[in-house]
């Protein structure tokens, strides 16, 4: 097993586009559904790896608002797999201190799927070791639009609507912005995931297909992250100033209620 990264180089929040399930299955001459099942197993292992490394937040792109364009049979299979996966793994995740949070537009999701997601969220509400956010029927543009609508409905004057004000209405207002954004499967794009929140994230793209992702692959991503100098607009020439790794906001900012 790869050596765990030093605590001062570990990101607080990791976001992952879990890509490559279908290609993983195709390489093995298996149906795409088998790849998605293997992807669930990879997610469970990754949650444990994240917890072992002291990462407090993990956000995964489970189903995008664009995924409805896929064949009906595949979409139906994904919905069924979600329900089965929650039934199979929820008890273990709960006992491991994982808090599940759901972000996305659930209005157009079937009642059965919506209830399963919300039940998982409710049953883990008191956990705090790792906050696992599942982005389901989510899109970054949708998130920005819904935040704007909420701000308008709340009566926020246009003159007072700045970044800080709008951030309070974003779907993930309970979490720090992602430090490390990982995409598996070899593609190099955001695919409308966490557009607002990833403004200063460090990006890591890997050819590893999602079902093959594990703690070793996570450590590779963290090692790459640790080599970056995060400047947040500052010069950061010394590597020890405002822009250095680990010099962002205090963890305590996000350790209170709602985290």
Asked whether the predicted pLDDT for residue 231 surpasses 90, the reply is no
Known catalytic residue: 67?
A: yes
Give the Cα separation of 200 and 196 in Å (integer): 9
Which residue out of 19, 143, 177, 179 is catalytically annotated?
19
Which residue out of 8, 21, 52, 67 is catalytically annotated?
67
- Full-model pTM: 0.87
> pLDDT tens digits, residue range 18-65?
999 999 999 999 999 999 999 999 999 999 999 999 999 999 999 998
> pLDDT tens digits, residue range 152-183?
999 999 999 999 999 999 999 999 999 999 99
Known catalytic residue: 19?
A: yes
Q: Average pLDDT, whole number, for the chain?
A: 89
Give the Cα separation of 140 and 170 in Å (integer): 10
User: Mean pLDDT, to the nearest integer, of 72-100?
Assistant: 94
For residue 236, name the pLDDT band (cuts at 50, 70, 90). Answer: low
Give the Cα separation of 195 and 146 in Å (integer): 13
Asked whether the predicted pLDDT for residue 246 surpasses 50, the reply is no
């Amino acid at each position: 097993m790869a050596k765990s990264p030093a605590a001062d180089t570990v990101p607080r929040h990791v976001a992952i586009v879990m890509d490559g399930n279908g290609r993983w299955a195709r390489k093995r001459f298996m149906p795409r559904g088998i790849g998605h099942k293997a992807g669930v197993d990879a997610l469970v292992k990754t949650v444990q790896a994240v917890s072992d490394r002291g990462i407090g937040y993990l956000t995964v792109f489970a189903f995008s608002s664009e995924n409805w364009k896929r064949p009906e049979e595949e979409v139906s299979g994904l919905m069924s797999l979600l329900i089965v996966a929650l039934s199979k793994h929820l008890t273990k995740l709960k006992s491991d201190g994982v808090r599940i949070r759901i972000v996305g537009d659930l209005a157009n999701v079937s009642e059965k799927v919506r209830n399963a997601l919300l039940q998982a969220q409710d049953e883990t509400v008191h956990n705090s070791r790792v906050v696992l956010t599942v982005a389901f029927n989510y899109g970054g543009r949708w998130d920005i639009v819904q935040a704007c609508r909420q701000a308008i409905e709340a009566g926020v004057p246009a003159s007072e609507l700045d970044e800080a004000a709008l951030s309070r209405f974003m779907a993930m207002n309970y979490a720090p912005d992602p430090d490390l954004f990982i995409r598996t499967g070899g593609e190099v794009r955001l695919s409308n995931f966490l557009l607002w929140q990833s403004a200063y994230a460090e990006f890591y793209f890997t050819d590893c297909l999602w079902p093959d992702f594990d703690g070793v692959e996570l450590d590779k991503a963290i090692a790459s992250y640790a080599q970056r100098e995060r400047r947040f607009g500052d010069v950061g020439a010394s590597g020890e100033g405002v822009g250095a790794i680990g010099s962002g906001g205090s963890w305590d900012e996000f350790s209170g209620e709602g985290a």
